Structure 1
């Protein structure tokens, strides 16, 4: 139960990290959470993934339904069926990746199957609105958390992985050696993520404007 408490605290921390809605800065963030075994509590799944635009959920996936679904009407209306089909396949692959890597971390730390462990991954970007309406990249986030503690993050400015704990040094060294991974991560944060953020802002423009007006009251 102690690990579960840390998980719940960590989720709240992640959800509140740099996801502020205002007229100039916008964000697109994806948060993945995987447990080493089922939790057995309502509403908490062995694996979940969610997308957020300016802190509001836009899509969702969990290990029980195993289907990526829209959480905003405009997402459902503007994105074709194959977007959701491909998204579902991607989430299913990530669910398997989480299962494999939780076991790797458990073995590395000599942990048993008796306790429940949790791995989280958050990645996304923030963009600033220019006068012409386009977005300028501000910062990217790609970070991992294990059992409620920071584990590994990507330094976008220097294109290196940063170990937040001694146990993460082995992973850092391994990932730093994969040049294509670093290039992909940097490219995704600075370009692809910003492109999707721009599209989603356009698709959900009316709702975002209404949310901004509400937040200013």
Structure 2
């Protein structure tokens, strides 16, 4: 059951990553910015997949899981199991019980709106908050998508915590939810600090099937998620003939990304090509030179 849940989590994260423009943290400011988000997916016409799944993520690492089969939210990290209050799991279980029914109704409404009577369909949402702990600014976000297309996006930006109880009660409903989200985020960051603030350096490999194929710079096994992968020709950054893939989760809490360069054998003989990787875990950038000794098939 645990392995099935992990596979479902990875499928959702990959699908959400492709469907939504997931919020990217600055490479050098990542230590000061934290995020809490909930990714919800309802499906229709996929028999092997739960009808509703919700994944909770702190700093883009999953810490909680709910689906329509188990019908309760459960922790996915040791720090969440040991330190998060039982009241949180009880409250969120009730919340996702209601969300499950709400998503089913919204799925029916969307199918009616688009004049659909059957087939495979997905309804997804991503909502949560970001907190900059240097200046205590917060930002909330809500995105909704149907069959892979965004159809609702909402942001609350540049909000500071009110200093009095009177100010809190005067906030709008959305701002109150944002404040509640950020309070939980601050707790989670404290509870899981040793895990969330760890640094795992990437492994970098150059791959090419044959001389007619693009060369791929494969970067994997790194944490946290923000990373910069670039190509250079004779020391100058390249943008043409470069294709950068999505940053995707591995099954062990780390991430991977690929960047491909299309270059002719003639140009490789004339010029020096390099792939450079920047990550917060590295004291120095990793630079891989495009030569026969570095390329794996």
> Does the residue aligned with 2:136 lie in a helix, a strand or coil?
strand
Q: Tell me the residue number matched to 2:5.
A: none
| Residue 202 (str. 1) matches residue 190 (str. 2) | yes
Cα contact 1:14–1:122 (8 A) shared by 2: no
Distance, in Å, in 1 between the alignment partners of 2:78 and 2:107 is 34
1:193 equivalent in structure 2: 181
- Closer, same or farther in 2 for the Cα pair 1:212/1:196, shift >3 Å? farther
Aligned mates of 1:13, 1:137 — CA distance in 2: 28
Query: What is the match of residue 54 of structure 1?
Result: 59
**Aligned Cα RMSD in Å?**
2.6
Conserved 8 A contact 1:26-1:128? yes
Residues of 1 paired with 2:21 and 2:190: CA distance? 23
User: Aligned residues, how many?
Assistant: 179
Deviation at 1:85, TM superposition (A): 2.0
Uncovered stretches (5+) of structure 2, i.e. residues with no partner: 1-11, 158-170, 202-221, 224-280, 283-297
Quote how far apart the aligned CAs of 1:84 are.
1.5
Q: Displacement of 1:86 after TM fit?
A: 2.0
Quote how far apart the aligned CAs of 1:46 are: 1.4
Secondary structure in 2 matching 1:210? coil
Alignment partner of 1:40 is 2:47: yes
1:141 is matched with which residue?
A: 141
TM-score, normalisation: structure 1: 0.73
User: What is aligned with 1:127?
Assistant: 131
Query: Superposition pairs for residues 159-178 of structure 1, below 5 Å?
Result: none
Give 1:146-157 correspondences, 5 Å limit. 146-157=146-157
Structure with higher RCO (Cα < 8 A, 6+ apart): 1
The secondary structure found in structure 2 opposite 1:156 is strand
Which structure: greater strand fraction?
2
Judged with a 3 Å threshold, the aligned counterparts in structure 2 of structure 1 residues 9 and 81 are, in CA distance, closer, same or farther, namely closer
Residues 8 and 127 (structure 1), Cα distance of their counterparts in 2 relative to 1, 3 Å cut: closer
Q: Structure 1 residue 155: deviation in Å?
A: 3.8
Change (3 A) 1:66 1:15: farther
Range 136-145 or range 206-215, more displaced = 206-215
User: What CA distance in whole angstroms lies between the structure 2 residues aligned with 1:99 and 1:45?
Assistant: 12
Higher share in helix: 1
TM-score by length of 2: 0.55
Compared CA separation, residues 15 and 60, structure 1 to 2 (3 A): farther
Give the deviation of 1:14 after TM superposition: 5.7
Contact 1:140 1:156 in 2 (8 A): yes
Greater Rg over alpha carbons, structure: 2
